[in-house]
Structure 1
């Protein structure tokens, strides 16, 4: 065996060689790539797809007084017989390879959504660079290319505004590719996606920098073949989210019998409980929606400092919201698309019976009997019980 003083130089030499042979010799610097912030896809004619990507312009993303008023992004589009072909034709217009790691949203045109998302889901699922946690949103009407060209006054990149709007509206913003895949493959539920649209408010007097041209519209309902089969506008979509257990807060306007005005309640701490009960060949569901409410506006003669008037408002809130939610569920049922979580509740509560009817769940959901009950407690009425403008003789105690 060699003495230890002979082995030390050899080990140091090997260590030095090891360090010299490591490193990302084939890496591509981020500064040398085109950074995609949003994707958009649509069907322009039978068997012909169009793809649009929004790219950030890093030099125009700065902040402060010197920030450029020009767009901080540009778009490139391409057509093809499939998604990959369209993407390949888009690359011919770029001087750099693109990087998708910062892409936050995938926008789907209405025509493609109605045709079906099977092709795009396959292409995105096979691409190892695609993050499954990116959001996917449907564009109602208009062109995907035109939409991705829009600017937004509060964001340098309009793609960031699309996702942030959901949280601002009190909605759960977790509408990702991963969740869509899971819902599409699930036997218990059907997928749904948020819908956005371009507003039609442009005028010569409105500033291009202060007039947003996009807004949340509602939700798109998909069947098990990943085809768009219906819509829920936002005023109904809020309640679907509540039943699903995804809603953070909601504003409810309550009409009071015998009064010309109404009462506005802001509800939060929202919860949903679904109880499934097999009844012969059909299934019954009881939905209980609960939460806590605060009075935000009183346009009636009622003195809301009086407990019986609070009880009146609360009872009317329960009746009107319960009836409205029931109507929404009945409207969706004929589509056979369970976007409320009923199948999940039935499977969890009755696993044995579920195995016997899961293959027929779209039909069973369409025929299900549903009842809705409310338990929303009004806790705060503000600093005064009656409207300020009323005189004492006009107030209803």
Structure 2
């Protein structure tokens, strides 16, 4: 974290030494790393998380002071709320190093995110490499106020959680501003964003004492994926459905699958890569039909049952069990999306690419057509490595 702030400071110093007449001195800036958007009555409430450099540095930190400060303001529009922050923040707010924008669940459901994306993409103060998240069962302001032990800056904690979990754990989908705009511009695909949930006492989580305990701390945890229809949140996927979503949409990078052995015990797969292809088939009984082909490669991570992994028949059975679980996750995700009436997978986009003239005749009715489509899921799982041993060590335990 110290290195990050040092780089930021050096860049700013270089920029400020160019001799520009409109320069702003470093000690006149307030570096914003998190932004929260709530709705209070008819007004937007904007919360900005500002870094306190003296508390982030180990040399200058003082016990009892938090590493960040929150400032909030209200306005009928977001630009008005940003402007009104000047009445509270004693420095010019610098938004170019923003890490996370958090929207409350209420705003995402009732107001939608179209206006928010328009504001963020128009304002020249913002870059487009920050992540988005939705605060579940709390306000965005409350979420930004929860302090984290390992990452002292809450916005950085959420940014890092999204980055790492997307790489190592499949039910996560992290998106930047430009990626969200691209997806929202597609005719036959809807947006999905990650949720965050506060675990523990919200009031205690915003106190410096939250960093002084090894257990029972209030934490920010990644929640499941939120599905959108147009620009509004319409529902949530559970963990299994979220796994299916990332698999179908080729966003799965790495994860763990656990299958039951015959009798007692389980075998865990470390999924190392996965590739999915969606094809449009001939109409079946007047309904659109698709084929979803999946190829997943995995290593054996653990075997908690008495099986011989050197036996090819055993491996074949395990591959079938793993493929069946992938199919179950994918089927449950499609079922949930049909129930919500939103095509988060891009089946409509497949129709548009494959049969553009036909798509023009149905695109305005796609939300009515999507729940009726037929999807054939054909997963294949290949075991690549068994680890350092073949037979399970449980076979030798008497």
Q: TM-score range by the shorter chain?
A: 0.7 to 0.9
How do 1:95-244 and structure 2 match up within 5 A? 95-115=90-110, 116-171=112-167, 174-200=174-200, 208=212, 210=214, 211=217, 213-224=219-230, 226-244=231-249
- Following superposition, the deviation at residue 295 of structure 1 comes to 0.9
For the residues of structure 1 that align with 2:165 and 2:263, how far apart are their CA atoms?
A: 30
Greater alpha carbon shift after TM alignment, 355-364 vs 151-160: 355-364
Q: Of the candidates 52, 59, 72, which is equivalent to residue 57 of structure 1?
A: 52
Shift of 1:162: 0.8
In 2, the alpha carbon distance for the partners of 1:57 and 1:208 equals: 19
Listed as ranges, the gaps of 5+ residues in structure 1 are: 1-21
- Map of 1:10 onto structure 2: none
Cα shift at 1:372: 0.9
TM-score (normalised: structure 2): 0.85
SS in 1 for 2:57: coil
- Determine which of 78, 84, 91 is the counterpart of 2:79: 84
1:158-190 Cα offsets, whole Å, 9 max, x none, are 111212112322447651222222322321211
Alignment correspondent of 2:362: 357
- Report the CA distance between 1:206 and its aligned residue: 7.8
1:331 to 331, 336, 339: 336
Query: What's the CA shift for 1:52?
Result: 0.5
- SS of equivalent residue, structure 2 residue 20: coil
Contact 2:294 2:380 in 1 (8 A): yes
Q: Point out the structure with max Rg over C-alpha.
A: 1
Alpha-carbon shift at residue 207 of structure 1 (Å): 5.3
Could you tell me how far apart the structure 1 residues matched to 2:166 and 2:19 are?
46
SS in structure 2 of the partner of residue 324 of structure 1: helix
Shift of 1:66: 6.0
- Correspondence for 1:42 among 27, 38, 42: 38
TM-score by length of 1: 0.85
Deviation at 1:283, TM superposition (A): 1.4
Greater Cα offset, 348-357 or 93-102: 348-357
Question: 2:246 and 2:45 mapped to 1: Cα distance?
Answer: 32
Cα contact 1:221–1:230 (8 A) shared by 2:
yes
- Give me the whole-angstrom Cα distance separating, in 2, the residues matched to 1:276 and 1:98: 50
- The reply on whether 1:377 has 2:382 as its aligned counterpart is yes
Structure 1 residues 50 and 285, CA gap change in structure 2 (3 angstroms): same
Specify whether residues 206 and 160 from structure 1 end up closer, same or farther in structure 2 by C-alpha distance, changes over 3 A only: closer
Structure-2 separation of matches of 1:385 and 1:160: 42
Contact 1:170/1:250, CA 8 A, preserved across alignment: no
Long gaps (5+) in structure 2: 1-17
Partner of 2:290: 285
Deviation at 1:297, TM superposition (A): 1.4
Cα separation, partners in 2 of 1:201 and 1:261, compared to 1, 3 Å: farther
Cα separation, 1, equivalents of 2:178 and 2:296: 29
Q: CA RMSD in A?
A: 2.5
Query: 2:222 aligns to what SS in structure 1?
Result: strand
**Paired position in structure 2 for 1:33:** 29
Q: CA deviation at 1:389?
A: 3.5
8 Å contact kept, 2:44–2:74: yes
